Amino acid sequence: MNGGTTAVGATAGGAGTGSRWASPVRAGFLRSDAPWRAVGYLLATGLSGLLLCFGLLLSGLVAGLLAVVLVGLPLAAALALAGVPIAAWERRLVRFLDGGRVPDPHLVPQEAGLAAWLRLRYREQATWRELGFALLAAFVLWPIDLVVAGCFLVVPGYLVAALPLLLRDGEQVNVLKVVVVHSPTVAALLGLAGLLLLPLLAYPLAVLAAARAALVRLVLAPGGQEQRIGELVRSRARLVDAFEAERRRIERDLHDGAQQRLVALTMALGLARLDAPTDGPLAARLAEAHREAGEVLAELRELINGIHPQVLTDHGLPEACADAADRSPVPVVTRFELPGRLPAPVESAGYFAVAEALANLAKHSGARSATVEGRYAEGRLTIEVTDDGHGGADPARGTGLTGLADRVAVVHGTLSVSSPPGGPTLVRVEIPCTPIDRGVA
């Protein structure tokens, strides 16, 4: 399933399982790598914020200058999406800091292509939160990050280096541009103070890094409504998978159990007819029972095929649709151009869409012929079923099109129907997907 979403149960503020972060109030904090992760985190956020500051200022200036000739308007519109990659980077940095995963609040577009992605991103609240955070990081946060990380590294380092610098100079050393030291003893004491200061500075450094990571989680993780929408999408995907698995189990049980027993019963009745006197009442009853068993077997095979046809599992969508066309009372021509097998839920939805459309045209359209065409292009499976019937198909009249649309929507697809009075009728199904192999369909 398309679904680019977080794992079930992830929350905006929780650290992932097996977090590498050691809290400043926890024993062993100084012996862990947490202080160095904190300083690395602040250096990364500070430097990226500095680059972002220059990038936004330059882009804004160029967009403003070019706006006079309208060329800068698309650039200005694109700047609204500047927070999307910045937010992704910030979420990754938080994971580096403490191992906790910050969920992505964005939904996966139901349609393929850049236009669908842009439409969805501009409508999402998360996009504008990310833009606000990008502005905050570019013009407020990065100086704080660099100053704190710099103090942690530079101040103790300069104090420790006082004695070596004095010995090299031979006369004096200017420590931090504040104190001029001439005595090696004083320089050695400053070095000792630097060694003691380093672990002391690790605590406020870690607190600031944790506070900044908490801000990232607060702003850039999914909100309550977005989490509910994401969970609905994930639960729908799980229900689709569970439903398909149950369909396959029922189909397998019927095929291997009830159908085989009916075949054996039909054969036994056929053999009994051979042994019964041809002119007696028993022969007539056996013949009737044999005929009824054969009809039940045929109905059971149709039921199994309707649950999940084996040809769809074994050979894929084109062959399954061709099999459905062969069983249609209306002559149907099928043409498919696919790069290979598609995900099982997509193939299932596409097949049952075709089967339902063929059943509808056989019952209601009065068509004399029909065509099923399937193709894959630009990340999308498109199936079109056309007939030369009298048209007038209306989903509101309970022709099965509403249920068909619901089935297709489960895999993020869309269904459209064009059926003017007098015909022809066109049923189009579009499902975004990615082939699972590149074999010849």
Taken in order 395, 401, 405, 407, the sign of the CA dihedral is positive
Q: pLDDT category, 7, cuts 50, 70, 90? A: very low
DSSP 33: S
| Third-level CATH fold of 311-432 | Heat Shock Protein 90 (3.30.565)
Tokens of 85: 């990659």
Nearest alpha-carbon partner for 40 in 26, 57, 20, 59: 20
Q: 95: number of CA atoms within 13 Å, CB side?
A: 14
What distance in Å separates the CA atoms of residue 10 and residue 243, rounded to the nearest whole number? Answer: 24
What residues does each domain of the chain span?
A: 34-222, 237-307, 311-432
The pTM score is: 0.52
* pLDDT for residue 2 is more than 60: no
Per-residue pLDDT tens over the stretch 105-142: 887 776 667 788 888 888 888 899 999 999 999 999 99
Average pLDDT in the 372-379 region? Answer: 90
What distance in Å separates the CA atoms of residue 251 and residue 257, rounded to the nearest whole number? Answer: 10
DSSP string, 221-249: S--HHHHHHHHHHHHHHHHHHHHHHHHHH
Nearest alpha-carbon partner for 141 in 59, 55, 33, 44: 44
Q: Specify burial of residue 11 (Cβ count, 10 A radius: 0-12, 13-18, 19+).
A: middle
Name which of 21-35, 129-143, 370-384, 419-433 the model is least confident about. Answer: 21-35
What distance in Å separates the CA atoms of residue 198 and residue 190, rounded to the nearest whole number? Answer: 12
Q: Are 368 and 331 in contact (CB under 8 A)?
A: yes
Average pLDDT in the 160-185 region? Answer: 75
